[in-house]
Structure 1
Amino acid sequence: MFLSAIYRYPLKSAQAQCLQASAVGPLGLAGNRRWMVVREDNGQFLTQRAWPQMTQIGALHQPDGSLWLQAPGLGTLQVPVPDAQAPLRGVTLWRDLLQVPDAGDAAAAWLSTLLGKALRLVYCPEQRARFLPSGYGLASDRAAFPDGFPVLLIGQASLDELNRRIGRPMEMLRFRPNLVVEGSEPFAEDAWQQVRIGQTTFRVLKPSVRCILTTLDPVTGQRSPDKEPLATLRTFREHEGNVLFGQNLAVDGEGVLEPGMPVEVLA
């Protein structure tokens, strides 16, 4: 088995970056989901679930940590990492209430113009990363702004089997993985407890629960009229009311990942 693709999502629910190499550590891939869009009035986070227009936001993580934003008709905006004097904003990410730095008025105006609502952009410094959902991982495990966990892994064979059942190809990016593995059997990752990719070890914490976001075309933002791939997933991947596809991981230590690296199941 080998690592076939690496994806980073610098801005939660915006477009992916396909990477040829990435540092990885306790918060997952370097620069992954460190930025998030929230409502100005109440700090509630935004995602493609309710805002499919977010599929049109290009977001690039820069080596200095800054964020480049681009969207049709709006051009490009560079957003620096907020400094220590940046005001903190109270935000809500599912059940978590966080105080994180606001990224300033220029980013807020850019996003508000694009999405037609008063919005703010916030950043998650490492020291303000949140705990994982209760009952999963170690007390030392943290995450920035993913829904719950630092890393999401999917086997390519699992998507291939799903596509066979649907009868047409679905893009891997509908599921927004960080790591894609080739050479395993379909859904083999369900049984993994610990894996090593290159020299980096990962703990498998829980299956990923899938939602309506998977029915959005990652390029156009258009929703599948037949509710695929969620409709087919429900026929064979539903457990206790949840549709499961992919595995959430935590990272032990730090390392560098590159496509082509061997993947070894340790437990």
Structure 2
Amino acid sequence: MPTLSALYRYPIKSTAGEALDRATVTEEGLLRDRRFMLARPDGSFVTARRYPGLQRVFARFDGEQLSLTHDDHPAISELRDVFALRPFDTRVWRDDFPALTTTIRLDAWFSRIIGEPVHLLWLGERSNRHRDSIGVRVSFADGYPLLLTTEASLADINARTDGSHVMAQFRPNVVVTGSEAFAEDGWRRIRIGDVVFRVDKPCGRCVMITVDPARGERRSDGEPLRTLGRYRKRGKEVCFGENLVAENTGELRVGQAVEILD
């Protein structure tokens, strides 16, 4: 039976992932996943698609304090109690919604890293972004609460390329081992522990997966997007992984069985 082999969350959209042994599933995704995001003064969102160096930022948020580290910049921490919490209109793709400001210090820290003025925004305890198309509130993630990938599918890509790709390039929340390559394409509902997930849609991939997360730079060969484009195209999208919507809340733990319900 397939099993849950890894869990990741990304406290800030586009920064480095945090590996977890266990995680709480909420309606909006994993607890404290993508609760922060960078936005320009006009509200447009900023990601590692344009600024791949963001993946060298490591963020930790325990609900009370946000701590940030980067190899080339002094570390910084701020308590949630000092966040300004001013409403700030922003957008992720076609979704327009309000978020909350944090602090001038955090804004300045990120502005120095990417070289343009940005604000670090927080969703608060409850997201104001409701996606009618899937029927749930969503974090600052691109479009779905959670993303699932499998180790067998990554191995398939590595067999077709130079073998150097790592799961962090695909930024999943849930990683499964013990399945065949791309078996997830045929899953419709799964259960992990007590949590049931709807496997809603293949994840269309972009230039983000060409970023080497260790160096914070795009690969010059355009891989693995180039190879995936030759055999994983679905309509206009190049697909890897599956978007999930949780049907209930609960806790996930690495090592749990993944039951294919449909």
Say yes or no: TM over 0.5.
Answer: yes
With the length of structure 2 as denominator, give the TM-score of the two structures: 0.95
With the length of structure 1 as denominator, give the TM-score of the two structures: 0.93
Deviations 1:78-98 (A, max 9, x none): 233367972111112111111
Question: Which residues in structure 2 correspond to 1:3-152 (within 5 Å)?
Answer: 3-40=4-41, 42-62=42-62, 64-81=63-80, 86-132=85-131, 135=133, 137=134, 139=135, 141-152=136-147
- Could you tell me how far apart the structure 2 residues matched to 1:65 and 1:10 are? 13
Q: Who is 1:206 aligned against?
A: 201
Q: Given residue 77 of structure 2, which amino acid in structure 1 is its aligned partner?
A: Q
Q: Given residue 29 of structure 1, which amino acid in structure 2 is its aligned partner?
A: L
What stretches of structure 2 of length at least 5 have no aligned partner? none
Deviations 1:164-206 (A, max 9, x none): 1113231101000001000111101111111001111111110
Question: Which residues in structure 2 correspond to 1:185-200 (within 5 Å)?
Answer: 185-200=180-195
Cα separation, partners in 2 of 1:85 and 1:176, compared to 1, 3 Å: closer
Higher strand residue share: 2
The one of 162, 174, 181 equivalent to 1:179 is 174
Identity %: 36
Deviation at 1:5, TM superposition (A): 0.3
Deviation at 1:55, TM superposition (A): 1.4
Of stretches 120-129 and 194-203 in structure 1, the one that deviates more from structure 2 is 120-129
Q: Who is 1:253 aligned against?
A: 248
Aligned residues: 261
RMSD, aligned α-carbons: 1.6
Deviation at 1:125, TM superposition (A): 2.2
Deviation at 1:239, TM superposition (A): 1.5
- Could you tell me how far apart the structure 2 residues matched to 1:232 and 1:65 are? 43
